Amino acid sequence: MIYLELFWAFFQIGLFSIGGGYAALPLIQQQIVNNYGWLTVSEFADLIIIAESTPGPIALNAATFVGTRVAGFAGAVIATIGFIAPSAVIIALLLFLYNRYKNLKYVNDALRGLRPAVVGFIAAAALTILKLTFFSESAATVGLVNIASLIIFTLALIALRKFKIKPIMVLIGSGILGLVIYGGLSLI
Amino acid sequence: MKKNFKLYISLFLTTLKISAFTFGGGFVIVSLMRKEFVQKRKWLTEQEMLNYTALAQSSPGAVAINTSILVGHHIGGFLGSIVTVLAAALPPLVIISIISLFYNLIRENLIVSYILMGMQAGVAAVLCDVIMGLSASVWRESKTFALAVMILTFLSLALLSINIIFVIVACAVAGVIYFGKIGKKGLKNDLS
């Protein structure tokens, strides 16, 4: 039963995640956190960190992470298959159409409509993470706002936008900063 | 048969290598595939690779997985696509399984939780960076339509918590209607 639920949840994620990578995040959040309650919001944030720091597509990493936690390794395999199944079928269909018509106007138009939507989706997922980070309780929280997070966030954004440093490097740097700031505060 | 077997083995190993050592999104993997399959092994041409990438983008799912299905099919037929999908999915499956086994143990550790708190702020920055880059590129593509869709989808998810699947279907339909009309108008203008 749990296997069936896992398969179905990730089948839907696979079927509706268009635009790859981050675009799947809000979909995963809605299914895994809101609908099934398999992860908390803070575990979901951890999942993004893990997915970003390891090779492989985010959705596939999410499938394995959630699958393992809910139903062990078998759960991971089933969630992964559930995610891949719809795109495998659709890809086969598209390949057939492509070889016949070489031109898929409707598919292209639909995709052009979806591209800006993907930005909105990612923004919604980012808002969840931002709320979690900025309003988390810690030794660095003044009033409601976590000052340390605000500083790390600002530095990371500057590193990414201005100096074009790779996301993985920025994440490692943020981790080190977190250790220094929170570790330092706990020693005081 | 022996030669085929060898082909499948090297197809498997090459894809496995690409998948296991590629950090970052699908397009990093796609450009590595291009390097390995087109330039080094000459299993397919540059044009074919481009077409497959476009097709992979047009389908839901992960771009890296979709591309590997198409390239595998091109090189070794149905069996070839099974081989490449397995090779592409195996590394994340194994790596994340191991991490999630130790997740509870690691998460309790204070040092790890300090690091993760810092990384959380970093991830928020990465997401904002992606949003800035993408919104600029969709703005160039379709201006007001893009802006309206971005704002509406954000509000419907963040404020109204509408089911995302409905939002996706609505945006796809809006794209077909909007760009379909523009296409016809453009054609009329060309004729007159």
Q: Which of A72-81, B30-39, B133-142 has the lowest mean pLDDT?
A: B30-39
- Residue % of chain A over a pLDDT of 90: 37
Q: In this structure, are A26 and A83 located in the same domain?
A: yes
Q: In this structure, are A114 and A163 located in the same domain?
A: no
Q: Examine the pLDDT at B81 and tell me if it is beyond 90.
A: yes
So what's the pLDDT on residue B29? 74
User: What residues of chain A, 53 to 92, have a C-beta less than 8 Å from chain B?
Assistant: 53-61, 64-65, 68-69, 73, 76-77, 80, 83-84, 86-88, 90-91
Q: In this structure, are A145 and A121 located in the same domain?
A: no
Contact B92 A116 (CB under 8 A): no
Average pLDDT score over residue span A48-74 = 87
So what's the pLDDT on residue B174? 92
Find chain A residues with C-beta within 8 A of B110's C-beta: 186
Q: In this structure, are A101 and A123 located in the same domain?
A: yes
Strands (DSSP E) contained in A38-169 are 141-142, 145-146
Q: Give the whole-angstrom CA distance, residue A36 versus residue B135.
A: 31
Burial of residue B28 (CB within 10 Å: 0-12, 13-18, 19+) is middle
Contact A174 B125 (CB under 8 A): yes
Domain that holds residue A127: 2-134
A2 reaches B (C-beta below 8 A): no
Q: Give the whole-angstrom CA distance, residue A111 versus residue A88.
A: 18
Q: In this structure, are A90 and A130 located in the same domain?
A: yes
- The model's confidence at residue A102, banded by pLDDT at 50, 70 and 90, is low
So what's the pLDDT on residue B169? 86
Q: In this structure, are A38 and A121 located in the same domain?
A: yes
Q: Which of A35-39, A170-174, B151-155, B181-185 has the lowest mean pLDDT?
A: B181-185
- The model's confidence at residue B25, banded by pLDDT at 50, 70 and 90, is low
- Given B89, B91, B175, which is nearest A111 (Cβ)? B175
- Output the average pLDDT for chain A: 87
- The model's confidence at residue B27, banded by pLDDT at 50, 70 and 90, is low
DSSP symbol at A33 = I
B84 reaches A (C-beta below 8 A): no
**Chain B interface disruption, residue of A46, A112, A150, most B CBs within 10 A:** A112
Q: In this structure, are A165 and A113 located in the same domain?
A: no
- The model's confidence at residue B86, banded by pLDDT at 50, 70 and 90, is very high
Q: In this structure, are A55 and A102 located in the same domain?
A: yes
Domain count, chain A: 2
Q: In this structure, are A177 and A159 located in the same domain?
A: yes
Q: Give the whole-angstrom CA distance, residue B88 versus residue B108.
A: 32
User: What residues of chain A, 21 to 60, have a C-beta less than 8 Å from chain B?
Assistant: 21-22, 24, 26-27, 30, 34, 45-46, 48-60
> DSSP 3-state helix, strand, coil percentages of chain A (rounded to 5)?
80, 0, 15
Last residue of a domain, one of A92, A118, A134: A134
So what's the pLDDT on residue A37? 93
Phi and psi at residue B172, to the nearest 5° = -65, -45
B77 reaches A (C-beta below 8 A): no
Q: In this structure, are A51 and A82 located in the same domain?
A: yes
DSSP symbol at A40 = -
Q: Give the whole-angstrom CA distance, residue B163 versus residue A107.
A: 22
Q: Per residue in B64-81, is it b (16+ CB within 10 Å) or e — as a string?
A: bbbbbbbbbbbbbeeebb
Contact A57 B130 (CB under 8 A): no
Residue with tokens 């419907």: B156
Contact B158 A16 (CB under 8 A): no
Residue B7 vs residue A115, higher pLDDT = B7
Q: In this structure, are A168 and A147 located in the same domain?
A: yes
Residue with tokens 């929170």: A182
Nearest CA-CA distance, residue A180 and chain B, Å:
8
Burial of residue B23 (CB within 10 Å: 0-12, 13-18, 19+) is middle
- Output the average pLDDT for chain B: 83
Contact A116 B145 (CB under 8 A): yes
pLDDT in tens, A29-58: 889 999 999 999 888 988 888 887 787 788
Last residue of a domain, one of A134, A155, A173: A134
A20 reaches B (C-beta below 8 A): yes
Q: In this structure, are A129 and A147 located in the same domain?
A: no
Contact A50 B25 (CB under 8 A): no
A7 reaches B (C-beta below 8 A): no
The partner residues of A141 in beta bridges, in order of sequence, read A146
A6 reaches B (C-beta below 8 A): no
So what's the pLDDT on residue B11? 92
Find chain A residues with C-beta within 8 A of B180's C-beta: 106, 109
Q: B29 Cβ partners below 8 Å, 6+ apart?
A: B18, B19, B22, B63, B64, B67, B88
Contact B121 A98 (CB under 8 A): no
Residue B165 vs residue B87, higher pLDDT = B87
ipTM, two decimals? 0.78
